[in-house]
Structure 1
Amino acid sequence: MMKAVLQIAPLECAGCVKKLEDHLSQMNGVISVNVFPQLGKVRMEFDRIKVHVHQLEKTISTLGFQVLSLKN
């Protein structure tokens, strides 16, 4: 298992938080997703054999959120 924290812009909309959590948690290999809207952080635990962190970043970007940085 691997953990990563992605920095995005702070979120003000509860719908945006739900959108991120729903889409990311449905990805194959994702174990847990926690979005911290005021901090603009998305913390995830995932199976790196099933999903790569770059796929998670791409999903976040596709949903309309810019990934600012990554911390493993």
Structure 2
Amino acid sequence: MSKAVITLEPLACPSCLKKIESAVRELNGIDHNNVKGVFNASKIRVAFDENMLTVEDIEKAIENLGYPVIKSKVKIA
């Protein structure tokens, strides 16, 4: 399992963060129990199986919702 911290543009409301968390949890290869959004920092922390998807796949799912990704930092376990 790899872990990523994805930094987004500032979010307008907590419901935006919930929407992003839900979309990320639906991706195959995501550890559903390890998706955590931090509203004040506009970040999403996620654990994922790097054999099933990449951080770019996660970024694309977020951007498809209309939330631009600023940067991502991945730590491979």
TM-score by length of 1: 0.92
CA distance in 2, matches of 1:55, 1:8: 15
* Shift >3 Å, 4+ stretches: none
CA deviation profile, 1:3-51 (whole Å, cap 9, x unmatched): 0111112223121011001110011000021111110111110001111
Instruction: Indicate the residue corresponding to 2:62 in structure 1.
Output: 60
Question: Which structure 1 residue ranges, 5 or more long, are not aligned?
Answer: none
Question: Which structure 2 residue ranges, 5 or more long, are not aligned?
Answer: none
Query: Larger % of strand: which?
Result: 2
Identity %: 36
What do you get for the CA RMSD once the two structures are aligned?
Answer: 0.9
TM-score by length of 2: 0.87
Size of the alignment, in residue pairs?
A: 72
